[in-house]
Amino acid sequence: MNSERIIRIMAGSFVLISLLLGAPASPLYHSSYWLWLTVFVGFNLLQSGFTRFCPAELILWKLGVKSADGQACCAPRQES
């Protein structure tokens, strides 16, 4: 599995879990402060779309996960 798929799975999981724990209508409601995790994930996805900087991608790179093109996630890409 490449880093892009892992990041999408992580982001989706964090959003769903924080909504389950933070939405008052949820049967697993704990506290509305969990919704801040949704805000953080959404903001991080937005800024990474513009800047191409993603902390989760850095962590995966340090763990040795490769990106879809076979290079390390954050390694400088060769221009052709």
With tokens 């409601």, the residue in question is 29
Any bridge partners for residue 72, and if so which?
66
Q: Which helix (DSSP H) or strand (DSSP E) does residue 44 occupy?
A: helix 35-51
pLDDT value of residue 67: 80
Cα(42)–Cα(65) distance, integer angstroms: 23
pLDDT value of residue 77: 53
Cα(57)–Cα(67) distance, integer angstroms: 9
pLDDT value of residue 78: 54
**Domain chopping of the chain, boundaries:** 3-62
Q: Classify residue 28 by its DSSP letter.
A: T
pLDDT value of residue 70: 64
Cα(23)–Cα(70) distance, integer angstroms: 39
User: Tens place of pLDDT for every residue, the chain, 80 residues?
Assistant: 888 899 999 999 999 999 999 999 999 999 999 999 999 999 999 999 999 899 999 999 999 888 877 655 555 555 55
pLDDT value of residue 72: 52
